[in-house]
A and B are shown apart, each in its own frame.
Chain A
Amino acid sequence: MKFGVVVFPGSNCDHDAWYAVSAILGQPAELLWHDSASVGDCDAVILPGGFAYGDYLRCGAIAKFSPVMGAVKEFARQGGLVLGICNGFQILVESGLLPGALIRNRGLKFICRPVRLRTETTACPFTSAAAEGQVLTMPIAHGEGCYYADDRTLDRLEAEDRVVFRYLDNPNGSLRDIAGIVNEGRNVLGMMPHPERASEPLMGSSDGLLVLQSMAAALVI
């Protein structure tokens, strides 16, 4: 089993994700450079947080054209596990792998703080190690994390049990308190909170490790 962590030039949580997988989860992880047209022999791909290409235009707007995203799309189409965290979520939305958009936070300020999330479904490879309804604490750190979609999309996400995490105290104005969603195939998760920052007690919470552990379990089976 091998995790790949994509490195865009402006990724800045790449090392954190790599560290959480390799040092804490104890699984092999390698870094995937943004201009490689393949994800190699990775069994799961993480799109980490950061500012992929500076994101001065719109978060993730340029990243969707990168060679590695072509490979990630193909990987996802074949059922490969893709986890997009923060900027990674923004890139997944821009790339069309997930519906909706992430717009500026209500309040228009960057927010960095731990938030509480309710696990809305365990019927996906990212939360099988959690219990339905389980409240997890992990930090957010973003300026553009307000999840937005039209009502039909939101209704559909809910009807198909694709809302994975909801904020208990909505920090950014996300519609229907959405913090994370999966695609139709349930193999692509985008979430604004940072599970890799909540993977050991020293960082204040280990709840995020559940997401990585769930992925590892799915890959073993």
Chain B
Amino acid sequence: MITPELIASHQLSQEEYARIVSLLDREPTYTELGIFSVMWSEHCSYKSSRLHLKKLPTRSELVVQGPGENAGIIDIGGGYAIAFKIESHNHPSFIEPFQGAATGVGGILRDIFTMGARPIAVMDSLRFGPLDDPQVGPRNRRILAGVVAGIAHYGNCFGVPTVGGECIFEPAYNGNPLVNVFALGVFKKNEIFYARASGVGNPVIYVGAKTGRDGIHGASMASAEFSEESSQKRPNVQVGDPFMEKLLLEACLEAMQTGAIVGIQDMGAAGLTCSTCEMGSRGGTGIEIDLKLVPQRETGMTPYEIMLSESQERMLLVVEKGREEEVVRVYKKWGLDAVIIGVVTGDGMLRVKDHGGTVAEIPNRALADEAPLYDRPHTTPRRDAPMEAPEFRSQNLAADLAALVSSPDLCSKRWIWEQYDHMVRTNTIQVPGGDAAIVRVKETGSSVAMALDGNGRYAHLSPREGAWLAVAECCRNLSVVGALPVAATNCLNFGNPERPEIMAQLVEAIEGMGEACRHFETPITGGNVSLYNETLGDPVFPTPVLGIVGLMKTGAPVTIDFKQPDQIVILLGGLGGCDETRFGGTEYAKVVLHRLWGLPPALDMDYEKRVQAAMREIVDRGLAASAHDLSDGGLAVALAEASFGPAGIGAELSFQSELRPEFLLFHEGPSRVLISTEWPGEVCRIAAEHGVEALRAGFTVAGKIAILNHWETLIDCEVQPLRESWAGALEAGLRG
């Protein structure tokens, strides 16, 4: 019997339960209660965010498919398209880092190839608590090592290159690490598959791994806060098998070639439940399945368990009636189960049978489209940082720079990305460590650039401006390598939306993202919202992560490092401005001053867009020997990073600025790119044409970094020791 306790343990409110009863016109069965609970969970239904997500731009000439399908699709020309999306696997990765991250990769890969696209790139945006945290440092180190190993395990075996990402540390992520995985695939524009069940009488086929008891209620787990008992949720985490996924990929792509597949959807969160009712709902049809036909790897599973299992590496197909054999034969060739478990019906119902009896009978639309929609109250965004800046004066600017480049956020992440096969498929033109990753598309002769960005510190100080800055930086990273940003996917990582001050963060971030994406002409084609990232009432920093893709011609990449001495260094976009308030979110404030205050850097979107247009033209004309955007750590850190290339070339820069030294060197004002060139006149001419500043800042020199202001030396140091501490810091931090 359905008791109030049972309803509560399914994380359904009394109002939601009443709605279920009215939709069914009767009490639900236990199995039906389970089905509603996962489909109406925050994770599957977006019930707190949907209202606001509508504010995002989703269309452009290039958008073939916007939000609502498994992934967004963009036309890249030449008859080809790309599918891409970012998704979180935060909660599982905290409970079981290796499998949590691994299945995060698996889930997003299935979202891509269920549409018919072959995955050609993965990136990861990671947030952890500090590795040297006095209380939970050892746990944070274990989580980082486990997450990286899990991503490597899955992606390397599957055979998709992991080409980039970001990794940031903050105490706000101590109890809730963030693992956001982005994947991108390529396919012919006329060979796209959708997750729609159409054609009454068509068979429904289950393919892939057998169903077990793993991951039951994973979606609901991802929709609740953590408490001290969270380790008991380990059985809710699924176990990944990348080899099985590889077989599934090849078999699905081959089966699609038969032309017999009508619709296809992966079984991700909420497994068989979600795939059946969503496909039915999208197709305006019903689906009837018989659970005794579902391949199972455990005995005695109940209908409830089978419907809610999140066992990995499974897909649901709707196939043209009479052509089942053609499809089944392909899966058999790859050694996979392919079993007819049901049929498409005309009555719009999800009907689940088990050994003759009916265990669930629910309108598909009630599950997929009539989930509650909440306009949750929102006040002003939660913030626990002062607006006032503290008094500070640098004792030693060179020592500050050394501290910054060897800090966890800014140090080399080679230890991470060398564990990822980032070259498989021989398409990776820009390997990890650059401003953006670049992957060529052999079929079209063109390339796709991609970047992930999101700054929780900025968003904590101002969710709206933080979102603007994330979009701007992501687009800038693409423009620096010469790619035109065309479309975006987003992953919104926030705390508990039932708290008005958290909901306010979410609303402002979404609105800000919408404003910036409109301005930079990068519609959002899909993504993911991860709420309830809280442990014992401590929320994460609001962390909107953007994944933006850009298009470019294939060619040798412009990399961030200086190539040879005596080239002119230009600061495209100029020195920018800063004041005390706008300095509070910088890495300098974090690493050197251990503080957070004020507001994030100020962004002028029009100016930013012009800088980016100029930058793309400079790259396109082959004028840049190197280019690196200024972001975390500002000018001095960008200069240091540009000096850490194999040639060991640094630069001497000289300015006439009224900014105080800390601001000049370390402020994080956007819209700036450090370029080295043989053709400074041309570069400056292009900048002028776009109405942006281009400062001739100095010239490259072997082995040394220097910055002067009004002829006074602010920093003058050797590249080599700085490079060594930058290169080895993460590994040193992991040793504890």
Contact = CB atoms under 8 A, between A and B. Distances in A.
Interface string B241-273: 111101100100000000000000000000000
Contacts of A201: 556
A196 interface: yes
Interface in B641-663: none
B423 A112 contact: yes
Contacts of B250: 9
Given A54-B157, A141-B156, A202 B440 contact: yes
A197 interface: yes
Contacts of A77: none
Nearest to A196: B426
A9 B419 contact: no
Given A10-B246, A111-B419, A197 B157 contact: no
A12 B159 contact: yes
B421 A112 contact: yes
Contacts of A12: 157-159, 246, 424-425
Interface in A33-72: 49-51, 53-56
Nearest to B244: A54
A19 B335 CA distance: 26
B554 interface: yes
B76 interface: no
A6 interface: no
B554 A16 contact: no
Contact of B422 (A15, A112, A194): A112
Nearest to A19: B426
Interface residues of B, number: 32
Interface in B400-442: 417-426, 428-429, 440, 442
B335 A13 contact: no
Contact of A9 (B247, B421, B426): B247
A113 interface: yes
Nearest to B414: A113
A185 B538 CA distance: 67
Interface in B429-463: 429, 440, 442
Interface string A143-178: 100000000000000000000000000000000000
Given A9-B250, A10-B157, A54-B243, A110 B334 contact: no
A139 interface: yes
A134 B421 CA distance: 26
Contact of B425 (A9, A16, A110): A16
A78 B399 CA distance: 66
B152 interface: yes
A112 B440 contact: no
Contacts of B159: 12-13, 50
A117 B250 CA distance: 34
A141 B158 CA distance: 13
Given A12-B159, A197-B423, A197-B426, A112 B418 contact: yes
Contacts of B241: 54
B425 to A, nearest CB: 6
A55 B156 CA distance: 12
Nearest to A203: B426
Given A51-B157, A54-B157, A110-B419, A9 B246 contact: yes
A16 to B, nearest CB: 5
Interface string A12-27: 1101100110000000
Q: Which of B159, B422, B426, B556 has the most CB of A within 10 A?
A: B426
A50 B246 CA distance: 11
A9 B335 contact: yes
A12 B246 CA distance: 9
A9 B422 contact: no
A9 B442 CA distance: 23
B57 to A, nearest CB: 34
Nearest to B419: A110
A107 B421 CA distance: 16
A82 to B, nearest CB: 21
Nearest to A52: B243
8 closest pairs, A vs B, by CB? Answer: A12-B159, A54-B243, A141-B421, A16-B426, A51-B157, A112-B421, A110-B419, A10-B243
Given A112-B423, A141-B423, A201-B556, 19 more contacts: A10-B243, A12-B246, A13-B159, A20-B426, A51-B242, A51-B243, A54-B157, A54-B243, A55-B157, A110-B152, A110-B420, A112-B418, A112-B420, A112-B422, A139-B423, A197-B424, A202-B554, A203-B426, A203-B428
29 contacts: A9-B243, A9-B246, A9-B334, A10-B157, A10-B243, A10-B247, A12-B246, A13-B159, A16-B425, A20-B426, A49-B424, A51-B242, A51-B243, A53-B243, A54-B241, A54-B243, A55-B243, A109-B419, A110-B152, A110-B421, A111-B418, A112-B418, A113-B418, A141-B423, A143-B156, A197-B426, A199-B426, A202-B429, A202-B440
